[in-house]
């Protein structure tokens, strides 16, 4: 916030350089966004490493959480893409854990939300789509492009339908990234606005403080909703990744 009485809901998304770095004319500074990405990765890896290090037959609480997350993603992937899809398990699991932990880290006050920047989510989505295209071409060759040719379409309509299908395919990374980014951005802005109401109303005196109870209650409820959204968006991202990978493994038979 610029000053205590002026609430700026966008300020939380500002990127600050921590270490200024320029290599070959490119700005590769280490920013607060990079810091939180590193924190996310370190936290996830450390948690999974320590949770699974004991390898007890009867799992402890930590190990149980790690096993549950494994089972969750493994079942999701097997349901969506079949047995062959399991070779993508490391990718899907890493994406899910990264998005989930980054979303949840963003729920701490004063923490930066990595996934609220579209460039981050877009890179994740492009990683998925390039994997789909690359694996599809490697595995099926040109047969992969049958994905864009629905069967049973009259010849005259075919160019039109293929163009629409191609655009629909290209819009996948956009919708995948926009959904995650927009959810996180909108949620955090709403939270900030309602919390800002509390501050500015209570500055009006005793009557304002009584009135500030309403937005405070709203902010508490929204915090709960945001935790739900954090998990749900990570889940949706992983589910859609599985579905897209299914297209690469079995393109239209």
Please give the residue ranges that form the binding site for another protein (CB under 8 A).
Answer: 78-80, 82-83, 146-148, 150-153, 160, 163-165, 167-172, 174-175, 178-179, 182-183, 225, 228-229, 232, 236, 243, 246-247, 250-253
Closest distance to another protein from the beta carbon of 28 (Å): 27
Among residues 14 and 221, whose Cβ is nearest to another protein? Answer: 221
DSSP notation for the chain: --BTTB--TTGGG---EEE--EETTEE--EEHHHHHHHHHHHHHHHHHHHHHSS--SS--HHHHHHHHHHHHHHHHHHHHHTGGGGGGHHHHHHHHHHHHHHHHHTTSTT---GGGSHHHHHHHHHHHHHHHHHHHHHHHGGGGGGGG--TT--TTTHHHHHHHHHHHHHHHHHHHHHHHHHHHHHHHHHHHHHHHHHHHHHTT-HHHHHHTHHHHHHHHHHHHHHHHHHHHHHHHHHHHHHHHHHHHHS---
Among residues 43 and 236, whose Cβ is nearest to another protein? Answer: 236
Closest distance to another protein from the beta carbon of 162 (Å): 10
Closest distance to another protein from the beta carbon of 251 (Å): 5
Among residues 196 and 251, whose Cβ is nearest to another protein? Answer: 251
Closest distance to another protein from the beta carbon of 200 (Å): 26
Among residues 21 and 153, whose Cβ is nearest to another protein? Answer: 153
Among residues 23 and 167, whose Cβ is nearest to another protein? Answer: 167
Closest distance to another protein from the beta carbon of 228 (Å): 7
């Amino acid at each position: 916030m610029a000053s205590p009485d002026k609430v700026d809901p966008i300020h939380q998304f500002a990127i600050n350089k921590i270490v200024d770095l320029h290599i070959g004319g490119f700005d590769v500074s280490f920013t607060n966004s990079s810091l939180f990405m590193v924190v996310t990765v370190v936290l996830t890896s450390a948690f999974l490493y320590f949770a699974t290090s004991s390898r007890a037959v009867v799992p402890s609480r930590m190990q149980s959480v790690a096993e549950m997350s494994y089972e969750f993603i493994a079942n999701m992937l097997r349901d969506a893409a079949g047995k062959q899809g399991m070779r993508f398990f490391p990718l899907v699991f890493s994406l899910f854990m990264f998005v989930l932990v980054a979303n949840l880290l963003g729920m701490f006050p004063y923490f930066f939300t990595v996934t609220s920047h579209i460039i981050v989510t877009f890179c994740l989505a492009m990683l998925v789509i390039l994997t789909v295209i690359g694996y599809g071409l490697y595995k099926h060759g040109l047969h992969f492009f049958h994905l864009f040719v629905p069967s049973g379409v009259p010849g005259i309509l075919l160019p039109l339908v293929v163009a629409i299908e191609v655009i629909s395919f290209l819009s996948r990374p956009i919708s995948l990234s926009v959904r995650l980014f927009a959810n996180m951005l909108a949620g955090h802005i709403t939270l900030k606005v309602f919390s800002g109401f509390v501050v500015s109303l209570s500055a009006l005196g005793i009557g304002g403080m009584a009135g500030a109870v309403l937005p405070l209650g709203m902010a508490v409820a929204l915090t709960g909703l945001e935790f739900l959204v954090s998990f749900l968006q990570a889940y949706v991202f992983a589910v859609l990744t599985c579905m897209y990978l299914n297209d690469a493994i079995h393109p239209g038979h």
